[in-house]
């Protein structure tokens, strides 16, 4: 049985992952509306991944005899100004998620819940990937600068990154 403290912290993270999914879904819609089809596909795939992250936590919580809570979600922003501004938001968001995972890991350590501590290591590794991907894309955007035609290749490049993501 897990402590109430851990149960609450896991439920908080479940909500964060679900909200991440909503944010990326909204980014996909924005990218689609601006003609960035590759970026849109990338964001749709990200939204699916975040839902998987949410489900993985939820199933773990149930498996350990905790009660999972499906909560309401905040409405994500819908206007992202430019690809650069959007991916800056992605990086900022993923850093926030990493911090939240770190806090969660630290609670499991304090409570000596080593099973949950072990379970969360997958998320620790995943966050390194997520932040690296966002930084990588921002580097590409900064290389393009104001070159409009560069964005055509950039869009194709980002679409190609979906396939390159390591399988889980």
Residue 7 or 130: the one with the smaller Cβ distance to ligand OFO is: 130
Q: Label residues 41-66 b or e (16+ Cβ within 10 Å = b).
A: bbbbbbbebbbebbebbbebbeebeb
Q: Give me the residues that bind ligand OFO (CB under 6 A), please.
A: 17, 20, 50, 53, 94, 97, 126, 130
Min separation Cβ 14 and ligand OFO, Å: 11
DSSP state of 35: T
Min separation Cβ 94 and ligand OFO, Å: 5
Residue 3 or 102: the one with the smaller Cβ distance to ligand OFO is: 102
Residue 101 or 151: the one with the smaller Cβ distance to ligand OFO is: 101
H or E segment and range at residue 165? none
Residue 130 or 155: the one with the smaller Cβ distance to ligand OFO is: 130
Min separation Cβ 139 and ligand OFO, Å: 19
H or E segment and range at residue 66? none
Min separation Cβ 134 and ligand OFO, Å: 9
Residue 146 or 168: the one with the smaller Cβ distance to ligand OFO is: 168
Distance separating alpha carbons of residues 116 and 151, to the nearest angstrom: 43
Min separation Cβ 168 and ligand OFO, Å: 12
Distance separating alpha carbons of residues 108 and 34, to the nearest angstrom: 43
For residue 118, give Cα distances in angstroms to 3, 60, 163. Answer: 16, 12, 28
């Amino acid at each position: 049985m897990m402590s109430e403290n851990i149960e609450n912290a896991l439920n908080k993270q479940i909500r964060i992952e679900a909200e991440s999914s909503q944010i990326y879904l909204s980014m996909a819609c924005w990218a689609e509306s601006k003609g960035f089809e590759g970026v849109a596909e990338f964001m749709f795939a990200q939204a699916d991944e975040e839902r998987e992250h949410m489900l993985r936590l939820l199933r773990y919580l149930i498996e350990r005899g905790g009660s999972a809570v499906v909560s309401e979600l905040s409405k994500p922003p819908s206007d992202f100004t430019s690809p650069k501004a959007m991916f800056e938001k992605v990086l900022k968001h993923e850093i926030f998620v990493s911090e939240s995972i770190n806090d969660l890991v630290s609670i499991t350590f304090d409570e000596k819940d080593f099973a949950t501590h072990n379970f969360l290591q997958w998320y620790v590794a995943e966050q390194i990937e997520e932040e690296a991907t966002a930084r990588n894309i921002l580097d590409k955007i900064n290389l393009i600068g104001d070159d409009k035609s560069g964005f055509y290749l950039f869009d194709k490049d980002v679409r190609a990154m979906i396939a390159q993501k390591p399988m889980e």
